[in-house]
Structure 1
Amino acid sequence: MGEIILVTGGARSGKSVVAEERAKSFAGRPVYIATSEPYDDEMRDRVAAHIDRRGDDWETVEEPLALAKALDETDGAGARLVDCLTIWLANFMLAEKPWEPEVETLLEALKRQKSPVVLVTNEVGMSIVPENALARAFRDAQGSLNQKVAEVAGEVTLVVCGQPLRIK
């Protein structure tokens, strides 16, 4: 199994930059697997900022749902950076598609990868309990997803204020 690295933190904590640097530390041209679907101008601006920051050194694959397939299809080249698991999970929940089987499919795919995989995710459970059922379900699902990916990861880094703290 290739190296599996999970980078987590709060919103705007600097986790994507930390993950990009980690992915670039491996040999080969890195592959950026984007899970977002920019539906509005604000999200398009965020995506554009990520693209500008990365520059032309990356291959980009856009895949909002079939993450295991994208990993399998890009295995054997450079490191892959998945940004991010939080948006990936939200894509399933907002489409009212079952996410649990997809998590198991992802975990199996991670275990068979030869090239490194760096995954970005948000830590969403460190605040108040949300007032609505969908937000609570999302928070719980994200916590479950993060725990399962952290279990198969050989390295887990928490990013706070742009500073990485390796916790596994």
Structure 2
Amino acid sequence: MSGVVLNLSDTGLAGTLLVLGGARSGKSRLAEACLTALSGPRLYVATGRAWDEEMGARIAQHKSARAHAGWQTVEEPLDVPDVLEQHAHMPVLLDCLTLWLTNLLLEEQDVEAYSARLLQSLSTRLAPTVLVGNEVGLGIVPDNALARRFRDEAGTLHQKLAAQVGRVMFVAAGLPMVLKDHKPA
């Protein structure tokens, strides 16, 4: 998985990698490896919330693992675009878009407005950015309105990002597949 290298001369949307995959596909490991290869400080933007004990334990485990690997962590469930703008000169890993989307939906925020702000903040970044998201559209149609809206919003967000960013990868069974690799002229 360490074969993916980000071009440090790419900035803004061209310097952004979108990593999609299913749960436990290896997408976060790939995303971390992409930025761990870079020297200097890097930021991990964590969007998950500890809604229960089990999730709290997962978050604590991830934070502990990152602390020893030289990551700075910002936990931000909603204002992700602001964090990206505040750290425009620092390589950033955002994990994950679908937890961020969940937070927006549960807080009854304007998903379209936040998505537009996310794209805007990515376009002004001066350092590489890696975004992680769960591909949730490969299964059956959910049985309730909120789950269907979540699936639809996630698909729309991923499509908007994939159309604009420089690189897109899909991970299955720990194997990365390049879906898009924009090579600037």
Aligned mates of 1:34, 1:26 — CA distance in 2? 19
Q: 1:28 maps to which residue? A: 40
Aligned mates of 2:87, 2:24 — CA distance in 1? 28
Native 8 Å contact 1:111 1:152 kept in 2: no
CA shift, 1:52, in A, is: 3.1
**Secondary structure, in 3 states, of the residue corresponding to 1:167?**
strand
2:165 aligns with one of 126, 136, 153: 153
Aligned mates of 2:67, 2:177 — CA distance in 1? 26
Aligned mates of 1:152, 1:29 — CA distance in 2? 26
Aligned mates of 2:18, 2:151 — CA distance in 1? 18
User: TM-score scaled by structure 1?
Assistant: 0.95
Aligned partner of 1:137: which letter? R
Range moving further from structure 2, 117-126 or 17-26:
17-26
Aligned length: 167
1:76-155 equivalences in 2 (<5 Å)? 76-77=89-90, 79-155=91-167
Please, which runs of 5 or more residues in structure 2 have no aligned partner? Answer: 1-10, 181-185
Aligned mates of 1:95, 1:33 — CA distance in 2? 19
Please, which runs of 5 or more residues in structure 1 have no aligned partner? Answer: none
CA shift, 1:50, in A, is: 1.7
List 4+ stretches of structure 1 deviating above 3 A: none
Aligned partner of 1:74: which letter? H
Instruction: Report the RMSD for the aligned CA atoms in angstroms.
Output: 1.1
1:62 aligns with one of 75, 80, 86: 75
